[in-house]
Amino acid sequence: MRLITKADILEAGANLLGKTSLPNGDLADWERFAQASLDYCWRYHTWLWVMRKGQLVDDSGVVVMPEDFDYYGFRQFDGATEQSILDTGTNIFLQFNDSRGRYEIVNGTVGTDVIYAVEPPLLTDDVKIPFPSAVTIAIGMTVFAKQGENPNKADISQEWDSFHVELDKHVANQARTEVPRPGRAVNRQTRASSIGEFPGKVSN
């Protein structure tokens, strides 16, 4: 798996916009759109490199998720079924604990194994990100940038389709290396993608 940097993404984005180099001056908007694209790409699929196996832990008497847990990503508990906080019942559910700044597991048990997706990394100058292609993230960056310039009238349909074609290529590439468990289909959707909603989702 290639490790890419913020510079890789921004330079790829400049090329897609027909520029030979990054513009001079403040790149805050470019960086913001690049982060939005990375967040979307990171949560688009149950990528192998974002998944972790951990345990529910005790934080001063409260059962909480691991610190790097991504609320918008995939999660699956061993021997426990998660329910919505709006449903009645005795299964576990998540709620945010303001005093701890973490999600607590109501009715959860310390030591329960959990497979979960980690949060997308923040794009900083020194971070290196596992992802197959900087260009894919850059395509998404141009989508968010174009919509940001004209939220009500921007025609992003062509770029949006190209963005998803590239993402689906990476999904297919990973599928060729996955080994499904006998009798069980591989889950290729995140909790967010299963309902078609993502933070920062762009509507056609």
| Predicted local confidence at residue 188, as pLDDT | 45
Q: What is the mean pLDDT of residues 98-105?
A: 90
Q: Which residue has the higher pLDDT, 74 or 195?
A: 74
Task: Place 179 in a pLDDT band, splitting at 50, 70 and 90.
Answer: low
Other CB atoms closer than 10 Å to residue 110's CB: what's the count?
Answer: 13
Task: Give the residue among 40, 42, 98, 103 at the shortest CA–CA distance from 71.
Answer: 103
Cα separation, 78 vs 115, in Å, equals 8
pLDDT cut 70: percent of the chain above it: 87
Sorted by where each begins, the domain ranges of the chain are 3-45+122-195, 49-117
| Predicted local confidence at residue 23, as pLDDT | 74
Strands, E assignment, 46-194:
51-55, 57-59, 62-64, 75-77, 93-97, 102-106, 113-117, 129-130
Question: Does residue 187 register a pLDDT over 50?
Answer: no
Q: Which two tokens stand for residue 116?
A: 């979960």
Q: Which two tokens stand for residue 1?
A: 């798996």
Task: Place 184 in a pLDDT band, splitting at 50, 70 and 90.
Answer: very low
Tens digit of pLDDT for each residue in 112-129?
999 999 999 999 999 999
Tens digit of pLDDT for each residue in 149-168?
776 777 888 889 999 999 99
| Predicted local confidence at residue 148, as pLDDT | 75
| Predicted local confidence at residue 119, as pLDDT | 96
Q: Which residue has the tokens 């529910």?
A: 56
Cα separation, 131 vs 120, in Å, equals 11
| Predicted local confidence at residue 186, as pLDDT | 45
Q: What is the mean pLDDT of residues 178-184?
A: 53
Tens digit of pLDDT for each residue in 15-55?
988 887 777 778 899 999 999 999 999 999 999 999 999 99
Handedness of CA 125, 130, 134, 140 (dihedral sign): negative
Question: Are 65 and 103 a contacting pair, CB within 8 Å?
Answer: yes
Give the global pTM: 0.80
